[in-house]
């Protein structure tokens, strides 16, 4: 790459270029949170970072849309990407919305491609600054610089797809919801590759930096050095810290395990960087009408790109994913993949039109400026404005109004907010479940059941099925309760308590075989649980069906529980006594029941005492206790 003699070393000036273009603003924010991140986040409004993402990250997608679609000659120049690649992404998105594996693979492509997109932008901007400063970047030096950025990405890629990080692999994906599908690099291989490429990145970066300083001097190298630091803070250090399990004492690194507030900061840093360079290019192109007008356009088109697909497809329809069950992730995947494709096509420094603006400060010769007839332009911008309004409406309702209603304990207002969001496709299963818990805690069981049911319509979840089952059981709807518990079991979640709940319903109905089987399943899943052992012992000893009773097994279970407790309580001794009586060991049953009565009396449990006295009289008369069904078909 030959050196040039540019007229200006900066785009907008040293401060904006270093802070926005080179990422030093992110470095400054990182340093602040490194010193007091936990304390700042504790008092920082939860709505702040999402708002900044809307204002500075979403618009950068609009910057690409304006560059490609606003002018007819740009659409024609990039028709392969602007039309055909776009149609392919749209078609893939529609298919993925109804297929969890394709959706997950599409999401995985987005997550895997994102660091490369960020890395490529950093590399290109670094070279741009060198060219503007007249630094002679030889082919050899360029390879060292390129190697530094590529190795940083390979390091990230290996960590992303290492099976040591957990998650599904593409060959064993069995989830029912959208998720990240790892290639599943074996830990033994990753344990060698990750450190090797990390070390290679450090060495190559050091060599590239040394060569740059020798041929360009510190002042000319400062911008690309700042960009290299940004690359490390965005990706290399967080990924390395997470993979190796390091504790650095720096909150932004130690807490960046998964999707945290600090990830949003990276989104904002990249978005600002992108807007900075695209605004400069737009200012030197046809149709420039001022910074305010440009920002309004990229904001409207960028936010609309995220909201209109939700409104148009209404994700909680039949066969699709609800908004918080994968649809929002699919929107993110489609928007970003489309952005990556277009961005890779339109921003290349080897393109003479791009280089003339970003390196030589010349105006681009573009030609005609209008994208089409006036009515189509008005229609497009009206739709974009509507999408932007919808985006800010969704933001206010979900980030400010709903949390405020919950903090104030106003479940009715919170439910109204979720209903309004549902009109536009933004209903959330998780929020419906939260509302159900609030109503349940207040004893408003029908309202709780309604919210739990809606939550499950949006996103089947074992935990919510279990809560719905408990509510239906309290309401006396035992068939519905049993159905909910069975649905929870199908999700393979909390099997022991769910089997116990199903066993309880069956036992109270007099369905002995079913009750015993559920209690056995619960005990098998959780053999260390005294409660599960006692459930089974009680059913085996007291079931109304004589053929189903197994007194000797009940005695073994109950005695095992008693031996494992330092001070058996009245309920445990009551179950032991019932087991002894079922086995014909009435003297032992009387002794155990008397001990249970003494403990219950000491705790003033009068209602329980009456039941224990009744059983004691049966055992003294050498009769076993048989539990009669308490739930009749009429119930």
Measured between alpha carbons, how far is 73 from 47 in angstroms, rounded to an integer?
A: 40
For residue 584 the two structure tokens come to 């014909």
Task: Give the per-residue pLDDT at 632.
Answer: 56
Encode pLDDT of 422-446 as tens digits: 999 899 888 999 999 999 999 999 9
Q: Which fold has domain 528-635?
A: 1.25.40
Angle between helices 100-132 and 86-96 (to 10 degrees): 150
Under 8 Å between Cβ of 131 and 6: yes
Residues in the chain: 635
For residue 597 the two structure tokens come to 């009565």
pLDDT at 169 over 70: no
pLDDT at 608 over 50: yes
Under 8 Å between Cβ of 327 and 315: yes
Measured between alpha carbons, how far is 138 from 340 in angstroms, rounded to an integer?
A: 28
pLDDT at 260 over 80: no
Task: Give the per-residue pLDDT at 3.
Answer: 46
3-state secondary structure 436-456: HHHHHHCCCHHHHHHHHHHHH
pLDDT at 4 over 60: no
| Mean of per-residue pLDDT scores for the chain | 87
pLDDT at 277 over 50: yes
Encode pLDDT of 288-309 as tens digits: 889 999 999 999 999 999 999 9
> What are the residue ranges spanned by the domains of the chain?
14-393, 528-635
pLDDT at 188 over 80: yes
Measured between alpha carbons, how far is 338 from 178 in angstroms, rounded to an integer?
A: 19
Residue 11: pLDDT band by 50, 70, 90 thresholds?
Answer: very high
To the question of pTM greater than 0.85 for the whole model, the response is no
Measured between alpha carbons, how far is 185 from 190 in angstroms, rounded to an integer?
A: 6
């Amino acid at each position: 790459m030959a050196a040039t003699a540019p007229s200006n070393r900066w785009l907008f000036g040293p401060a904006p270029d270093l802070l926005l273009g080179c990422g030093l603003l992110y470095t400054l924010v990182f340093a602040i949170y490194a010193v007091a991140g936990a304390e700042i986040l504790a008092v920082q409004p939860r709505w702040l970072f999402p708002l900044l993402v809307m204002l500075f990250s979403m618009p950068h997608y609009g910057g690409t849309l304006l560059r490609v679609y606003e002018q007819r000659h740009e659409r024609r120049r990039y028709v392969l990407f602007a039309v055909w690649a776009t149609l392919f992404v749209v078609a893939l998105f529609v298919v993925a919305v109804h297929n969890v594996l394709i959706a997950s693979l599409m999401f995985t492509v987005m997550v895997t491609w994102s660091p490369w997109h960020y890395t490529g932008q950093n590399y290109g901007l670094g070279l741009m600054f060198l060219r503007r400063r007249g630094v002679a970047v030889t082919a050899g030096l360029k390879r060292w610089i390129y190697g530094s950025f590529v190795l940083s990405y390979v390091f990230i890629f290996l960590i992303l797809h290492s099976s040591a990080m957990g998650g599904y692999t593409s060959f064993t994906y069995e989830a029912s919801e959208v998720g990240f599908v790892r290639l599943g690099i074996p830990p033994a291989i990753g344990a060698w590759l990750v450190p090797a490429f990390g070390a290679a990145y450090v060495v190559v970066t050091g060599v590239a930096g040394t060569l740059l300083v020798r041929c360009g001097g510190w002042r000319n190298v400062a911008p690309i050095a700042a960009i290299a630091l940004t690359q490390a803070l965005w990706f290399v250090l967080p990924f390395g810290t997470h993979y190796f399990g390091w504790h650095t004492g720096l909150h932004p690194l130690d807490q960046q395990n998964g999707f945290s507030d600090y990830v949003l900061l990276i989104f904002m840093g990249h978005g600002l960087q992108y807007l900075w360079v695209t605004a400069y290019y737009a200012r030197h192109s046809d149709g420039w009408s001022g910074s305010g007008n440009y920002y309004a356009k990229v904001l409207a088109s960028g936010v609309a790109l995220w909201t209109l697909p939700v409104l148009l497809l209404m994700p909680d329809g039949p066969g699709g994913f609800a908004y918080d069950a994968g649809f929002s992730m699919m929107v993110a995947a489609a928007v970003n993949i489309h952005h990556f494709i277009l961005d890779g096509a339109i921003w290349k420094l080897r393109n003479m039109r791009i280089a003339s603006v970003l390196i030589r400060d010349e105006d681009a010769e573009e030609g005609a400026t209008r994208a089409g007839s006036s009515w189509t332009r008005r229609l497009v911008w009206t739709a974009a404005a509507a999408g932007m309004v919808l985006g800010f409406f969704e933001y206010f309702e979900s980030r400010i109004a709903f949390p405020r209603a919950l903090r104030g304990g106003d479940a009715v207002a919170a439910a109204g907010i979720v209903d309004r969001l549902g009109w536009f496709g933004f209903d959330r299963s998780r929020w419906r479940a939260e509302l159900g818990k609030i109503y349940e805690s207040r004893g408003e069981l029908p309202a709780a059941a309604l919210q739990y049911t809606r939550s499950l319509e949006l996103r089947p979840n074992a935990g919510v099925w279990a809560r719905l089952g408990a509510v239906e059981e309290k309401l006396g709807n035992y068939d519905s309760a049993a159905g909910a518990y069975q649905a929870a079991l199908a999700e393979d979640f909390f099997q022991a308590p769910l089997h116990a709940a199903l066993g309880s319903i069956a036992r109270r109905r007099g369905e002995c075989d079913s009750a015993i089987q559920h209690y056995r399943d619960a005990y098998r899943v959780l053999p260390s649980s005294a409660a599960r052992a006692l459930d089974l012992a009680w059913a085996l000893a007291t079931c109304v069906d004589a053929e189903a009773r197994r007194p000797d097994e009940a005695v073994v279970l109950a005695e095992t529980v008693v031996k494992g407790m330092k001070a058996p309580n009245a309920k445990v001794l009551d179950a032991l006594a019932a087991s002894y009586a079922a086995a014909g060991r009435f003297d032992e049953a009387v002794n155990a029941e008397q001990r249970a009565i003494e403990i219950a009396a000491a705790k003033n449990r009068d209602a329980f005492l009456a039941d224990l006295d009744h059983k004691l009289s049966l055992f003294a008369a050498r009769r076993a206790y048989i539990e009669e069904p308490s739930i009749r078909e009429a119930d």
